[in-house]
Amino acid sequence: MDLGTGLPLHNNMLGPLATLQVHHIFPKAVLNAHGYGRGEVNAVANFCFLTQNTNLAIGKKNPQDYLAEVQAKYPGALESQWIPTDPDLWTPERYPDFLAARRRLLADAANIDQLVEWGCVEPLIDSEIADPETGAVLAVAEAFWPDGLQPGQGAPVVLELDEDAANLARLEELGFEVYTSVSALRGRVRRRNEEAALVTVPDA
């Protein structure tokens, strides 16, 4: 959901300022003023998707101000983008804790622990994937296995739960194996394990 309107996000939204943009949840100006470095400011866990209009409206506002407004006006909007709802985490002083909490929410949404138990390597969480030719952001994936589910085995794997906010066609054109639901990815892992071990992996 868009944090400024409460409407679902998708690539074909109408209007001159309705295109999707990557937004810093904690604005760069706020974090820079509190001494955070570039790597911390541009942590992928600090990104979400918004319409251009909402991105401009938020500008340099402090998260403790605008996130509180979003939570009051559009219940469920923060949760839809896996943004921690604890107001204590919305201050610059708690920014590292905010990042840790958001990474955990993203990992939980993707059932990462279970996939690792089934033999997958740890993925990159909330990972920005750019087009190697143009540099354009194709997705901010909930989970990304750049070397395959196991190192050197298969194509890079992307779990993108917000398919309308990503360029899935381009990812697939580049050879990425793309999943838009946890159940589909889990099914793929179960089949792989069954083929490899000739045993059935039970449903969770």
User: pLDDT tens digits, residue range 69-82?
Assistant: 999 999 989 998 88
| Nearest Cα to Cα of residue 103 among 87, 117, 78, 83 | 83
* Percentage of the residues of the chain whose pLDDT score is greater than 90: 36
> 137 pLDDT exceeds 70?
yes
| Nearest Cα to Cα of residue 84 among 65, 66, 67 | 67
How far is Cα 48 from Cα 22, in angstroms, rounded to an integer? 6
Output the pLDDT for position 13: 47
CA dist 152 to 59, 133, 144, 159, 195, Å? 42, 23, 14, 18, 18
Output the pLDDT for position 202: 57
Classify the phi-psi angles of 175: left when phi > 0, otherwise alpha if psi is within -120 to 50, otherwise beta.
left
Q: What is the mean pLDDT of residues 55-60?
A: 85
